[in-house]
Amino acid sequence: PSAGGKLLVVPMVGSHWLSMQEVVEKLSQRGHEVVVLMPEVSWQMEASQAYRVLTYPVTQTLEELDGSF
């Protein structure tokens, strides 16, 4: 058993988040209060009922982000 705690998650855009998302959701299910900090423009990062999402502004558009990769 574990006591629920607070967790702030600041994932990297892309595969790092895809790997972390399931873990973050499981932690939330186990009683942890999870806040995920995401950029306003990103790939494959989306909100969920399992955790709270806070966004921060970025200067790039999605098209510029696509173009840089």
CA distance 41 to 55: 9
- Is the overall model pTM greater than 0.85, yes or no? no
CB neighbours of residue 28 within 10 Å:
19
Q: What is the pLDDT of residue 3?
A: 63
Q: What is the pLDDT along the chain (69 residues), one digit of tens a residue?
A: 456 688 888 887 666 787 888 898 999 999 899 999 888 877 667 778 888 988 888 888 878 877 776
**CA Rg value for the chain:** 13
